[in-house]
Structure 1
Amino acid sequence: MSTTLSPADQAHRRQLTEEHLDSASRLGCVLDQGRQWGWYDRSVSGRATRAEQEVWIRTVTEQAQWVDMLFWTGNLEANKIVGVPKPIVLASSETRDEDRRFRTEVMTLVDQAPASPIPAATTPPAVDDAWLDQLRTSLEALAAASTTREAKIQDDVTQQLREYFGDRIDPQVERWVTSHGDLHWANVTAPSLVILDWEQWGLAPHGYDIATLYCHSLLVPETAATIRHRFTRMLDSPDGRRSQLLAIARMLSRTRMGDYTDLVVPLHRLADEILGR
C-alpha cells in the first residue's frame, strides 16, 4: 500500500480489500494475486477463477444513501442488452455496514486491454476502420434497446447547458436513445472492441456517447479527426451539438477535482466552435 495515502485512505483500502476477499470466497472465486483500484479507490477488481473458468471480480462501495441511484445495478441490468460486445455479470452479492454498502460482481473476463489506460487518450488508440464500424453498429444496437433507465434527464441537461453556456444553445433534447453514458477510451478495448463499465447506461440525448468519446480524443488530433469524420452526421445534428456541449460541461466540472486539466483549453475551444456555427 502506498505510503502517500492518508490514514483514512489506507483504512478505506483495507476495508474494501477485506470485503473483496470475503465476497470472492462467498461467490466461489479464487483470486489471482494482482488487483486494480478504480476511480478514487471507489472499487477494487482483479482476475479470478470460478468453477474452472477465468473471470473478473469487482467490488464497489458507496455510502448507503446513494445506492438506489442508477449506477448500483447497472452492470447486472446491462445483461439484457444484445448486439453489443460487453462483459456479462455471472453472479453478484451485497453487504453493508453502518453507513456503507458493498457490491461484488463476477463477470466474464475480457482478456484484452483498454484502448487507453486513462479516459482521455494521449496517444493514438489502436483502432482501425473495422473497429469504428463495429462501434457504430454497437451504438445503433444499444440505441434500439428498450429501457426505463435514465442516464440523463431534461432538467439536468437544461441546468448544465445553462450553467456553462447561458442562452447560446437551446437545451431541449429532440431525441432520447439508450446510451452507455460514459464512453471514453478507458471503457473500450482495442484492437477488438469490447465496451466496459455499464454502471451509468440509460436514456441520453442522441449522440451523447460518440460526443463523449470525441471529447476524450481532443489531445490526439488525428484520433479526434477520425471520430469526427466517421460520425459527422451524428455530431453535427442538433442533439449531437447539445451532446458535445453536455460532455464538455461534465468534463469541465471535473477539473475542480483535478481531472482533465490538460483538456480545459481544448474543451473551451470546441465549445466556442460549436456555439459559433
Structure 2
Amino acid sequence: MYSPPPDADTEQRMRAHHARAAEALDVRAEPGGEFWGWAGRTLGTPARTATGQPAWLRLVSSPEDKAAGKLWDGAVDAQHVFGDLDGRRPALLAVHDAIDDATAYRAELSARVDQPVLSDDPVLQHGLPLPDSWWTDLAGTLEKVAAVGTDRVAVRQQYMGRAIPEFVGIPAPAVNCWTAAHADLHWANVTAPLQLLDWEGWARVI
C-alpha cells in the first residue's frame, strides 16, 4: 500500500511538481520526511503556510485522461460535505491543479495532524491501550458519516456477487441499504486522540 517511487524519473518528477505546488500555494515544505503513496502516485510532506499555520501538502498524479472521478475528487468532496467533521477530520485548506506532459497533478493543502497514526501498517501488529472514550468517539464519528447522502460508490453489488463466493464460499446477499463510509478505515489512517485521515475513497458501502 505504501511504497517508494518505482524509478528515479518518477521520484524526480514528483518532487519537482510538489515544489511547484508549494510555491503556487505559498507554503514552505518543512523537514520531517517524505511520505510516498503507492508506486509513487502521491507524495506528502509537512509544510507551513505564509501565516505560520502548520499544514500538510499532498500531491497526487494521474494520466490526464484519468484525472476525474471518485478518487481524484474525494478530498474535495469530503471537505464540501463534512468540513472538519467536528474536529475529527483534517480540513482541506486549498487545492492547486496543474497539467504537464499529459499528466495531471493535484496538490491538496490540509491542516496538519500532529499526533502520529496508530500503526505504520494497515494491519495492527501489536495491542493498543485505547480508552473507551476513543471507541465512543469513533462510533459517533462514523454515525455522522453514515447519515450523509451521496452518490459516490465504494462497493458495488456486482463486486460482492463475485468476491463473496470466491473468498467466503457462500452466495452474496442482496443489499438494499447502503450508507456513506470512510471506505479506507484501518489502523494506519487513525490517530489518538481520534482523527480520521485519507478521505479520497469515501463513498457508499454496506
Instruction: Measure, in 2, the Cα distance between the counterparts of 1:32 and 1:114.
Output: 19
Name the amino acid aligned to 1:142. Answer: V
Correspondence 1:30 to 2:28: yes
Of residues 130, 135, 138 in structure 2, which corresponds to 1:132?
135
Name the amino acid aligned to 1:140. Answer: E
Name the amino acid aligned to 1:19. Answer: H
Q: How does 1:171-210 map to 2 (within 5 A)?
A: 171-190=173-192, 192-205=193-206
Instruction: Measure, in 1, the Cα distance between the counterparts of 2:154 and 2:11.
Output: 29
Give the alignment's Cα RMSD to 1 decimal: 1.8
Q: What is the aligned partner in structure 2 of residue 101 from structure 1? A: 104
Q: TM-score, normalised by structure 2?
A: 0.89
Deviation beyond 6 Å, 4+ runs, structure 1: none
Correspondence 1:86 to 2:61: no
Residues 28 and 48, structure 2, Cα contact 8 Å, conserved in 1: yes
Residues 114 and 188, structure 1, Cα contact 8 Å, conserved in 2: yes
Residues 64 and 99, structure 1, Cα contact 8 Å, conserved in 2: yes
Q: How does 1:12-27 map to 2 (within 5 A)?
A: 12-27=10-25
Q: How does 1:113-262 map to 2 (within 5 A)?
A: 113-166=116-169, 168-190=170-192, 192-205=193-206
Q: What is the aligned partner in structure 2 of residue 44 from structure 1? A: 43
Q: Deviations over 1:197-224 (max 9, x none)?
A: 000001001xxxxxxxxxxxxxxxxxxx
Give the C-alpha shift of residue 152 in structure 1.
1.6
Name the amino acid aligned to 2:103. Answer: R
Is the strand fraction higher in 1 or 2? 2
Is the helix fraction higher in 1 or 2? 1
**% identical aligned pairs:** 30
Q: How many residues align?
A: 198
SS of the residue aligned with 2:154? coil
Give the C-alpha shift of residue 84 in structure 1.
6.4
Structure 1 regions of 5+ residues with no counterpart?
206-277
SS of the residue aligned with 2:7? helix
Give the C-alpha shift of residue 146 in structure 1.
1.8
Q: What is the aligned partner in structure 1 of residue 53 from structure 2? A: 53
Deviates more, 1:172-181 or 1:34-43: 34-43
